[in-house]
Amino acid sequence: MAETDLEDRDVEAPVSGERVQGEGEQFDEENRLKPEFVEQVREALYDEIEDSVYDLVEPLHPADIADLFELLDRRERTDLAAAITDLMSSEVVAELNDYVREDMVESLPHGAVADIVDQLDTDDAVQLIEDLDHADQQAILAEVEPEDRAAIENALAYPEESAGRLMQRELVAVPESMTVGDLIDYLRAEDQLTTEFWEVFVVDHRFHPVGTCQLSWVLRTPRDVALTDVMKRDQTLIPTDMDQEEVALRFQKYALISAAVVDESGRLVGQLTVDDIVHIISEEAGEDALLMSGAGEGDINEPLRDAYSARVRWLVANLGTAVVASAIIAFFGGAIEQLVALAVLMPIVASIGGNAGTQTMAVTVRAIAMNQLTKSNTKRLVIRELKVALMNGVTVAVLIGLATSAIFDWQLGAVIALAMVINIIVSGMAGVLVPVAFERMDQDPAVASSVFVTMITDSMGFFAFLGLAVASGLVSL
């Protein structure tokens, strides 16, 4: 029976080789949709040949359809959505970039959004409407099935980026008294149950989790064995108010596939599965580079005005720090008039110091984000960075010192070499201590560290170099 059935399937379903996700002529070697393919879709859209658009998109995995939307321009996106309505599955919507999704949702009538919401899991539905303004949310929820609406409103009651927002309410929880056989019979009988679960939660009479059964253990065990003998008692319980960054770190650290979410009283209210968390893990790990550069969210689909306001804020802050550095130069204006070579060389000292500071800052911010840096090893890191800075400083100082001596004179060479060592060491220390200080003050070290580190490295660079030039009697104030 299995055989014949397999035959039937092979007729309409191509053999596995052709159903391998992310391969075939639409993809380049890095699993991205080929520009040629995107062009084909574009042309079909312009010529308004909806059938050929559909035929092009139909073979794609939902995640690839989502990518296609992101690669198209704004107006093309709505045309595509219209051309492939019945391919716009919940997976596609869930995989869409937040900004693209929000943009499309705003362009759709409330009824249409409500229809999509009805077929989504709670967590995806929440993601779909959480960024809309309250009025739109209400208008859409009004047209959603009552029980779905209740679940969604319940989720929206939790703070943004909290476990309560992220969790799925659909899960499998069974009493401690069950045997493996009872569980299997229960799973076969209950057709209302979700099929998206990787572990079964065993709960006591208060619905508090007491253990977790990995499905593979259940399947490897005879029917008459008690679940309490198969389940793992060590659990990671996620409180509903835990921040998603913290959740992501727990999943990484304890290599979790799914985890129980509990309310204040310890009752099991939902579950988180790793496939929802991987996006957050990469988001949280990747955002530090953007935050340190002062680019905010830094998503290429972010609306122009958001990108502008996120970035200009830091440019203006940086303007302030640059003015401080300039004030130091102005103080030495007389010295520069006597020896213009100082103006020529001073940016080198500041620039290398800035680079050295950024290096140390990046290392420190990463260590903090990964929970690797605590009071227990901060001193060790400071000493380590001091050593690295000393080694780097001496190396660079020798190079610039010799070059300057050759081009100008040995005294100026000595001044810039010494200034360079001082600035690289100061920068290295600033790179560790500034982020650590922010972290101790419960501020995100990735956000504001750069501005302060840059100010320190620039100012110190100019001050050390010009100051030493005066102190050495090379020039006078």
Residue 217 found at the interface with its own copies (CB under 8 A): yes
* Closest CB 71 distance from its own copies, rounded Å: 4
* Closest CB 82 distance from its own copies, rounded Å: 20
Kindly give, in sequence order, each residue whose CB lies less than 8 Å from that of residue 386, ignoring residues fewer than 6 positions away: 425, 428, 429
User: What is the rounded distance in angstroms from the CA atom of residue 458 to the CA atom of residue 341?
Assistant: 18
- The 3-state secondary structure of 136-156, one letter per residue: HHHHHHHCCCHHHHHHHHHHH
User: What is the rounded distance in angstroms from the CA atom of residue 294 to the CA atom of residue 450?
Assistant: 8
Residue 314 found at the interface with its own copies (CB under 8 A): yes
- Return the bridge partners of 237, or none: 260
Contact 212, 232 (CB under 8 A): yes
Of residues 101-140, those binding its own copies (CB under 8 A) = none
Task: Name the one range near its own copies by CB under 8 A: 17-25, 79-87, 101-109, 114-122.
Answer: 17-25
The residue with tokens 């990671």 is 236
Angle, CA 462 vertex, CA 400 and CA 360 arms, to 5°: 70
CB nearer its own copies, residue 156 or residue 475:
475
User: What is the rounded distance in angstroms from the CA atom of residue 178 to the CA atom of residue 221?
Assistant: 13
* Closest CB 135 distance from its own copies, rounded Å: 29
User: What is the rounded distance in angstroms from the CA atom of residue 446 to the CA atom of residue 292?
Assistant: 5
**Contacting its own copies (CB under 8 A), which of 147, 300, 473, 476?**
300
Of residues 382-411, those binding its own copies (CB under 8 A) = 384, 387-388, 391-392, 395-396, 399-400, 403
* Closest CB 155 distance from its own copies, rounded Å: 20
Of residues 426-455, those binding its own copies (CB under 8 A) = 454
User: What is the rounded distance in angstroms from the CA atom of residue 307 to the CA atom of residue 151?
Assistant: 33
Backbone angles phi, psi at 232, to 5 degrees: -90, 130
Q: How many residues bind its own copies (CB under 8 A)?
A: 169
Of residues 144-203, those binding its own copies (CB under 8 A) = 176-179, 183-184, 187-188, 193, 195-198
**Contacting its own copies (CB under 8 A), which of 82, 157, 278, 406?**
278
User: What is the rounded distance in angstroms from the CA atom of residue 304 to the CA atom of residue 378?
Assistant: 40
CB nearer its own copies, residue 149 or residue 413:
413
Burial of 298 (0-12, 13-18, 19+ CB in 10 A): middle
Burial of 372 (0-12, 13-18, 19+ CB in 10 A): exposed
Task: Name the one range near its own copies by CB under 8 A: 101-109, 131-139, 157-165, 288-296.
Answer: 288-296
Task: Name the one range near its own copies by CB under 8 A: 45-53, 112-120, 122-130, 247-255.
Answer: 247-255
* Closest CB 407 distance from its own copies, rounded Å: 9
* Closest CB 131 distance from its own copies, rounded Å: 19
Which amino acid does the sequence have at 77? Answer: R
**Contacting its own copies (CB under 8 A), which of 380, 402, 406, 472?**
380
CB nearer its own copies, residue 9 or residue 107:
9
**Contacting its own copies (CB under 8 A), which of 69, 452, 462, 463?**
462
Of residues 40-79, those binding its own copies (CB under 8 A) = 61, 63, 67, 70-73
* Closest CB 90 distance from its own copies, rounded Å: 12
Closest CA to 239 of 264, 209, 258: 264
**Type and span of the H or E element at 239:** strand 237-239
**Contacting its own copies (CB under 8 A), which of 255, 265, 441, 473?**
255
Residue 465 found at the interface with its own copies (CB under 8 A): no
**Using CB under 8 A as the criterion, what x/- string covers residues 322-361 for binding its own copies?**
xx-xx--xx--x--xx--xx-xxxxxx-xxx--xx-xxxx
**Contacting its own copies (CB under 8 A), which of 82, 142, 315, 437?**
315
* Closest CB 109 distance from its own copies, rounded Å: 27
CA 35 vs CA 28, 38, 42, 87, 135: distances in Å: 9, 5, 10, 21, 39
CB nearer its own copies, residue 81 or residue 215:
215
CB nearer its own copies, residue 144 or residue 242:
242
User: What is the rounded distance in angstroms from the CA atom of residue 438 to the CA atom of residue 474?
Assistant: 40
Please report the DSSP string for 56-68 in residue order.
HHTTS-HHHHHHH
* Closest CB 36 distance from its own copies, rounded Å: 9
